[in-house]
Structure 1
Amino acid sequence: MSNSDLEKAMKDFTQRCGNISRMYRIGKSVKGVPLWVIEISDNPGKEEAEPAFKYIGNVHGDEPVGRELLMRLANWICDNYPKDPLAELIVDKVHLHILPSMNPDGFSLRKRGNANDIDLNRDFPDQGALVANYPWDGTEDRRRSYFPCPDDETFRFMASIYSRSHHNMSLSKEFEGGITNGAAWYPIYGAMQDWNYIHADCFELTLEVSDNKWPPANELPTIWEHNRKSMLNLISSVAKTGIHGKIFSSETGRPLPGSVMIKGINHTVKAGRAFADYHRLLAPAEKYEVMATMTGYKSKTTIIRLEAGPMALDFILDPEVSNGEHRLESVCDCSCTTGGSGLEVMGFLWNSHLEVYFVLVIVLAFVCILLLRKRARLSFLRHSRQQGGGPKRAVVA
């Protein structure tokens, strides 16, 4: 397809599949070609407490296979939703974004770079010390060597999902299992996946899907069939593996946009601001020590065993209390009184012995904490029932 053909195909798709998709533009190329994205979801355009996944094709202008595969992928999902379980899971539990062509100018010129002759996968901002420590595409000494990132096991796990599902990728004689560390293959700098991992908590793979950069069009159906299962399984992996949950306040029961860290993995994942949901990709393992943090709250740690499936793991954090006055204020804010106004209750307490007053305050505080924790847990359980079909194992820490 030409660039105009591709734009028409995308518009036709969103008209045909408008109930599960929308189109939006993220900018334009040097020559003014719009960069269109298709979003596929059961609620397109709306933010939900779900993991997001993006596919980007045609980063290099002379590698057009990706743009064709991505349109075939979108149409397969539309044609098979909701009758196919995999299509249903992707639409209902993931927000999928597809940018078929990142380099339409290079495609028109049949060359690697864009209209300014820039290689788009070498042109992301230089990381300086961050690049030196980033363990995927670049190395510290700029030499070719295996340079693992903090999430090396998770990246290997994700890459293997694609390779094992492919027609013959895992049988590669050059790369064991059909996967490779980027720097072990050849180090590059200014790469998109390095930048996104550091600055956007985005776990990216670079997928080489064809030995021939510009194969004859009649080979596209075969290439699609070789990659179809891999492409679908990689999308679904963000919902079918790892840990997913929210962070709540024990004081109010409201979501907190905190952060989640894994002991031994020097990479923090932030929860979303709207729903305080997080989605942490991890390879299955016997033991992970997971910690949730939020400014103004006490951090909480729990140890989990992550099997092949996903795990729902919510955290309920207690606020940090600097003095007794703040604690008393929290007690009075609770809806724990039984008849009469708060002033009447406090008047009774002040007219009683001081010792009795303190005992009652402690009892009220304890009861309120129990009620608020219960409310937070009920909020989580209601959310889980409303979401449905999510991670099978639910844990509250």
Structure 2
Amino acid sequence: MFLKMNNLLFSLHLLLLASSLSSSLAKGGAFQSLLPSDFNDRINVSRARRLLDEVESRARVDLAQGYMTNSDLERVIKEFGQRCSNISRIYSIGKSVNGVPLWAIEISDKPGEEEPEPAFKYIGNVHGDEPVGRELLIYLANWLCHNYLKDPLATLIVENVHLHLLPSMNPDGFSLRKRGNANNIDLNRDFPDQFFFANNDEDSRQPETKAIMNWLRDIQFTASATLHGGALVANYPWDGTIDKRTYYYGCPDDDAFRFMASIYSHSHYNMSSSKEFIDGITNGAAWYPLYGGMQDWNYIHAGCFELTLEISDNKWPNAAELPILWKYNKMSMLNLVASLVKTGVHGRIYSSGDGRPLPGFITVSGINYTVRAGGTFADYHRLLAARDRYEVVATMPGYKSKNTSIWLDEGAMTLDFVLDPEVSIKGSVLQNVYDCNCDSKSKLEFVQFLWGSHFEVFFIFIVILGFLCLLFQRRKKVKQSTGAKRTVVV
């Protein structure tokens, strides 16, 4: 009995001590001196960490609820490919760090075939914690599939653009609910940069970055956009400045980019009414400079005009808001793609000699940027701001360049070029720099014939032949691109 009483008294003593200790810890009383000096900090940090872990755990469950998992996304993409096989092609551009395929959808009336048409790409989920884009791109694909041949805008896009959708560039970051990929690398800082060369070693880049770069080597995209979250604005190059300071730093095609960004902003439910960004658009460097971004790399290295679109103030909104966000962004996403054929200058480059396509180059006077024509059809698609006069120049090694002035209004223009081979006299030899494979003896015989007694006859023959070629060029029929108001051949 005595032992039981002692145990009871000891337990009561401990209980009172604990009660007093707890009270002292809460109020900072006398018992504080009996404890280690950092005891309170340890308790508070431990509690804070437990609370933070609990909040993050709940947040991860709550945030992901209603969003497609990576497995869901793969299944939905493949089902779309089966359901809309007449206008789509499903393929992978590579894999993430953890081996998740980076699935892409091509939408066209001739998917997988090369045509003299512009190509556009949308990329979502560049940052793992910004998943709205991956959901909206599935909305976009389904809308085009359901409305092809029913809605004029859907039909225009499907029949005149090769549209490629990459819903998730960063599936690992999405699974981890964090910005970077599985290696904790921000993929929008992992591309080669024009000012700083830390990313120039391609072998050291992330697999997702390499996949994008190889994708653009395979397909010549005219324009593109990435979908982000955390703000509401259409962002355009340049993204960085040479001295890392924040100020407006425009690229050579600043007018064209502002025009593109305005198409998205003004088609949006409320982006253009932004109080933070005038007209709902911003130059990237004027907002905040970043380096190694995908937007600038596209323009510099791939000939692709890319926008960075912030489409939701909340990075990870409740899934119930996704239909509303699709409604707000729907016309913006459609009109931006359609602008590839509804605005700008488009055409092909031919040889006057035999009419074959020439994979030449297009420049615009006063703009330090070159657009390359396609290798197969020699088609080019030059984005330019409307309501202005431009001098367009076509060049091709071994051919005489040609230029013409145009006035670009609200519509698109088809402008085809027919280039004449360069003919030069080296010493006494009349030579086509591309087509003549004569040996020395043949050259000598040709010179003797040309400068001999037959020169006058030969000269008259050349004049008549040139006149006939001119007539042939004028009569030649050239296909007119869809959406263009007028066709010009020079």
TM value normalised by structure 2: 0.72
| CA-atom RMSD in angstroms | 2.5
Corresponding residue to 1:118 among 179, 182, 185 = 185
Counterpart for residue 170 of structure 1: 272
One-letter amino acid matched to 2:464: V
The equivalences for 1:40-55 within 5 A come to 40-55=107-122
Counterpart for residue 251 of structure 2: 149
**1:376, distance to aligned residue in structure 2 (A):** 5.0
Q: Cα deviations across residues 192-249 of structure 1 (Å, max 9, x unaligned)?
A: 0101100111000000111111111111100000000000000000111000011111
Residues 1:370 and 1:391: Cα distance change in structure 2 (over 3 Å): farther
Check conservation: 1:328, 1:361, Cα contact below 8 A: no
- Describe the SS at the equivalent of 1:121: helix
Separation in 2 of the partners of 1:83 and 1:195?
Answer: 37
Bigger mean CA offset, 249-258 vs 98-107 = 249-258
- Between Structure 1 and Structure 2, how many residues are aligned? 373
Q: In the alignment, does 2:258 pair up with 1:161?
A: no
Counterpart for residue 99 of structure 1: 166
One-letter amino acid matched to 2:460: V
Residues 1:369 and 1:37: Cα distance change in structure 2 (over 3 Å): farther
Residues 1:354 and 1:126: Cα distance change in structure 2 (over 3 Å): closer
Q: In the alignment, does 2:29 pair up with 1:29?
A: no
User: What percent of counterpart residues are identical?
Assistant: 66
- Describe the SS at the equivalent of 1:268: strand
Q: In the alignment, does 2:84 pair up with 1:17?
A: yes
One-letter amino acid matched to 1:296: G
Check conservation: 1:249, 1:318, Cα contact below 8 A: yes
Counterpart for residue 489 of structure 2: 396
The equivalences for 1:306-345 within 5 A come to 306-323=408-425, 325-326=429-430
Counterpart for residue 223 of structure 1: 325
Counterpart for residue 141 of structure 2: 74
Counterpart for residue 460 of structure 2: 363
One-letter amino acid matched to 1:391: A
Check conservation: 2:128, 2:175, Cα contact below 8 A: yes
Separation in 1 of the partners of 2:81 and 2:99?
Answer: 22
One-letter amino acid matched to 1:208: E
Residues 1:9 and 1:252: Cα distance change in structure 2 (over 3 Å): same
Separation in 1 of the partners of 2:124 and 2:399?
Answer: 42
Q: Cα deviations across residues 357-390 of structure 1 (Å, max 9, x unaligned)?
A: 43432333233334445555655x2433xx6x34
Separation in 2 of the partners of 1:14 and 1:51?
Answer: 22
Residues 1:190 and 1:245: Cα distance change in structure 2 (over 3 Å): same
Residues 1:72 and 1:329: Cα distance change in structure 2 (over 3 Å): closer
Counterpart for residue 304 of structure 1: 406
Check conservation: 1:135, 1:150, Cα contact below 8 A: no
One-letter amino acid matched to 2:479: H
Unaligned 5+ runs, structure 1: 333-349
Residues 1:41 and 1:228: Cα distance change in structure 2 (over 3 Å): same
Corresponding residue to 1:38 among 95, 105, 108 = 105
- Describe the SS at the equivalent of 1:187: coil
Q: Cα deviations across residues 328-353 of structure 1 (Å, max 9, x unaligned)?
A: 99999xxxxxxxxxxxxxxxxx8xx9
Bigger Rg, structure 1 or 2? 2
Counterpart for residue 339 of structure 1: none
Separation in 1 of the partners of 2:110 and 2:488?
Answer: 27
Separation in 2 of the partners of 1:289 and 1:141?
Answer: 33
Residues 1:282 and 1:358: Cα distance change in structure 2 (over 3 Å): same
Separation in 1 of the partners of 2:89 and 2:72?
Answer: 18
**1:128, distance to aligned residue in structure 2 (A):** 3.7
One-letter amino acid matched to 1:27: G
- Describe the SS at the equivalent of 2:174: helix
Check conservation: 2:398, 2:433, Cα contact below 8 A: no
Residues 1:145 and 1:253: Cα distance change in structure 2 (over 3 Å): same
- Describe the SS at the equivalent of 1:298: coil
Counterpart for residue 383 of structure 1: 479
The equivalences for 1:173-188 within 5 A come to 173-188=275-290
Check conservation: 2:343, 2:412, Cα contact below 8 A: yes
Separation in 2 of the partners of 1:16 and 1:368?
Answer: 57
**1:43, distance to aligned residue in structure 2 (A):** 0.7
One-letter amino acid matched to 2:461: L
Residues 1:329 and 1:198: Cα distance change in structure 2 (over 3 Å): closer
